């Protein structure tokens, strides 16, 4: 935020702030304080909760704690059709492989030493591929001026290619932009797609780093992969993919009287394909096993008091999951406690829920309804909030705003010595009304520095896309993301309760509370006057 504008705003707040304050809002803000914050966070971020990783005991313990807090406040569990009205089961499954094998010629290869197979690149029914010969197709390119498949019919055949590279490229490929890599003909994804589209029986991808995998990397590969069950994400892959190292690749290429070094040199010097059929038998198998993972979003609902407005909902979120236990067996601290990330945000949601629930009990409940929701799986890829946005308990068209709290307990290494700030992200991305409401709530009640350094779509950190608010914003729901920035303990065991600035945690949570109060009691919902790209709507 521009400093001159900020100081002007603060001066106006000092002159006129009292006139705009709602005394009931102030009265019922009492539970949003540093002591209550410590009570919650010292439990959620304790070693007993083992880092709250999604799908683990620690994550389930956190969900149970939050649920009991919502119940004690008198919030309603709004989830219908499940075992527990406070828990929205999130569809997550883990994919693992069994029966993995690779045989080249008469030699049986060793998994994770000579080769590996990823569950994510395995067809849903697994595979059992046998072939008496292999097509070596170099870099697997099918460009107009460099087609390594010219004269070859790959249907029903096993093909060997290099994982990456394009010897005809005139300049190094530019780094991938955004969240996804490039889709050029030189990418492995494009190479695999070509072979799948042309009905190859399987592909052996040469990656010269296979033999140098660390123990941690081997363990990671062996664990398989978990992901959200998306309706449009059925396993459409039909091509078995095996990644092989240099030993296996050279054994295959020996059948053509060459090796990796020689064939790469030949292609680079001639700029001509070196495709050849190699008469060596190969067989590879794998079976895909899918297991459900238990994980839940925790929901507490406070119904609005105004018959005309209670169908409109303000959603307040924070993710209660973190990254779990340390994998290094030699580590002295075994727990990634996640006190700031996002125990602090979860604590903020709990304090707001208690404050609004008390207001309602004393006859001053919000006019609109409020959903307090702590979500799972944020660290895995925003899973919990994505699941809610695709399976909403309350219609998205009636959701007027999402206020998302993710890390509000510490300072930022880029702002040393002064924690009296909070980054706000997204507040004016879709709605100028929401931006004004949030900033006015700050001026009227809190007077914290609102830093908008990351409040744009082009920031290289991409914070706008990296927390749970984004799964609301992508559906056209205006959002504000409250964030204290990144510090040296981010995703490290050092993210401990002892390092939390509890007065600032409470102050930042108060800003969210007063913003929610204004939204829940205002005469009109924030108008969405901008498109997804930030341009103004014309109608």
Lowest mean pLDDT among 49-53, 131-135, 174-178, 218-222: 174-178
Beta-carbon contacts of 171 under 8 Å, excluding residues fewer than 6 positions away, are none
- The SS3 of residue 23 is helix
* Residue-wise burial string across 496-505, b where 16 or more C-beta atoms lie within 10 A, e elsewhere: bbeebbbebb
How many residues are recorded in the chain? 539
Question: Band of the pLDDT at 121, cuts 50, 70, 90?
Answer: confident
Exposure of 17 by Cβ count < 10 A (0-12 exposed, 13-18 middle, 19+ buried)?
middle
Residues 6+ apart with CB under 8 A from 243: 115, 116, 117, 118, 163, 204, 205, 207, 210
Q: What is the mean pLDDT of the chain?
A: 92
pLDDT in tens, 196-228: 999 999 999 999 999 999 887 888 888 888 999
Distance CA(368)–CA(221), nearest Å, equals 48
Q: Which domains does the chain have, with CATH numbers?
A: 3-91+295-516 (3.40.630.10), 93-291 (3.50.30.30)
Percent of the chain clearing pLDDT 70 (strictly above): 92
Asked if pLDDT for residue 139 goes beyond 80, the answer is: yes
**Residue 504: pLDDT above 70?**
yes
At 171, the pLDDT band (50, 70, 90 cuts) reads: low
pLDDT digits 0-9 by tens, 324-376: 999 888 999 999 999 999 999 999 999 999 999 999 999 999 999 999 999 99
Contacts 24+ apart (CB under 8 A), 145-154: 146/271, 146/273, 147/273, 148/273, 148/274, 148/275, 149/194, 149/198, 149/275, 150/273, 150/275, 152/275, 154/195, 154/198, 154/199, 154/200
Q: Reply yes or no on whether the pLDDT at 8 is more than 50.
A: no
Q: Which of 8-17, 231-240, 258-267, 299-308 has the lowest mean pLDDT?
A: 8-17
- List alpha helices for 100-187, DSSP H: none
**pLDDT score for 242:** 97
Pairing of strands 92-104, 107-108: antiparallel
pLDDT above 70: residue 12: no
More confident residue, 6 or 264: 264
C-beta neighbour count of 168 within 10 angstroms: 14
DSSP letter at 254?
A: G
- Band the pLDDT of 88: cuts 50, 70, 90: very high
Tokens at 21, concatenated: 């304050």
What confidence tier does 87 reach under pLDDT thresholds 50, 70, 90? very high
Q: Point out the least confidently predicted range of 35-39, 234-238, 496-500.
A: 234-238
Residue with tokens 């197709």: 137
- Helices 260-270 and 246-253: crossing angle, nearest 10°? 70
Rounded distance, CA 238 to CA 251, Å? 27
Closest CA to 319 of 373, 388, 390, 387: 373
């Amino acid at each position: 935020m521009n400093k001159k504008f900020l100081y002007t705003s603060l001066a106006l707040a000092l002159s006129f702030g009292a006139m705009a304050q709602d005394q009931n809002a102030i009265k019922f803000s009492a539970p949003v304080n540093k002591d209550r914050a410590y009570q919650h966070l010292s439990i959620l971020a304790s070693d007993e909760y083992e880092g709250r990783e999604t799908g683990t005991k620690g994550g389930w313990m956190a969900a149970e704690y939050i649920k009991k807090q919502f119940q004690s406040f008198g919030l309603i569990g709004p989830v219908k059709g499940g075992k527990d009205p406070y828990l929205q089961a999130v569809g997550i499954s883990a994919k693992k492989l069994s029966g993995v094998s690779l045989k080249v010629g008469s030699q049986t290869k060793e998994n994770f030493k000579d080769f590996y197979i990823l569950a994510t690149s395995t067809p849903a029914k697994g595979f059992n591929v046998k072939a008496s010969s292999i097509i070596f197709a170099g870099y697997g390119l099918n460009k107009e001026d460099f087609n390594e498949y010219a004269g070859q019919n790959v249907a029903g055949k096993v093909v060997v290619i290099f994982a990456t590279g394009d010897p005809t490229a005139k300049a190094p490929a530019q780094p991938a932009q955004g969240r996804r890599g490039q889709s050029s003909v030189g990418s492995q994804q494009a190479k695999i797609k070509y072979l799948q589209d042309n009905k190859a029986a399987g592909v052996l991808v040469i990656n010269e780093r296979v033999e140098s995998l660390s123990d941690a990397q081997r363990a990671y590969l062996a664990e398989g992969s978990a992901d959200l069950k998306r309706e449009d994400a059925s396993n459409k892959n039909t091509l078995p993919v095996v990644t092989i190292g240099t030993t296996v690749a050279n054994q295959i290429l020996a059948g053509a009287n060459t090796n990796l070094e020689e064939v790469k040199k030949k292609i680079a010097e001639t700029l001509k394909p070196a495709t050849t059929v190699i008469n060596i038998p190969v067989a590879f198998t794998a079976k895909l096993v899918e297991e459900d993972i238990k994980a839940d979003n925790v929901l507490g609902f406070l119904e609005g008091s105004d018959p005309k407005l209670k169908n409109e909902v303000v959603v307040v979120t924070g993710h209660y999951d973190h990254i779990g236990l340390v994998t290094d067996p030699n580590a002295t601290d075994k727990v990634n406690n996640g006190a700031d990330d996002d125990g602090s945000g979860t604590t903020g949601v709990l304090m707001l829920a208690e404050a609004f629930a008390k207001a309602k009990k004393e006859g001053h409940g919000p006019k609109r309804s409020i959903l307090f929701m702590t979500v799972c799986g944020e660290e895995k890829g925003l899973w919990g909030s994505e699941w809610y946005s695709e399976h909403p308990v309350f219609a998205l068209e009636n959701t007027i705003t999402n206020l998302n709290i993710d890390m509000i307990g510490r300072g930022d290494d880029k702002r040393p010595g002064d924690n009296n700030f909070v980054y706000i992200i997204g507040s004016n991305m879709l709605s100028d009304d929401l931006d004004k409401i949030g900033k006015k709530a700050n001026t009227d009640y809190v007077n914290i520095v609102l830093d908008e350094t990351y409040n744009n779509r082009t920031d290289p950190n991409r914070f706008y896309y990296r927390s749970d608010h984004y799964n609301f914003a992508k559906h056209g729901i205006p959002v504000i993301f409250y964030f204290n920035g990144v510090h040296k303990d981010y995703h490290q065991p050092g993210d401990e309760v002892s390092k939390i600035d509890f007065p600032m945690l409470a102050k930042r949570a108060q800003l969210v509370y007063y913003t929610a109060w204004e939204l829940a009691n205002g005469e009109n919902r924030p108008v969405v006057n901008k498109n997804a790209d930030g341009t103004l709507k014309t109608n």
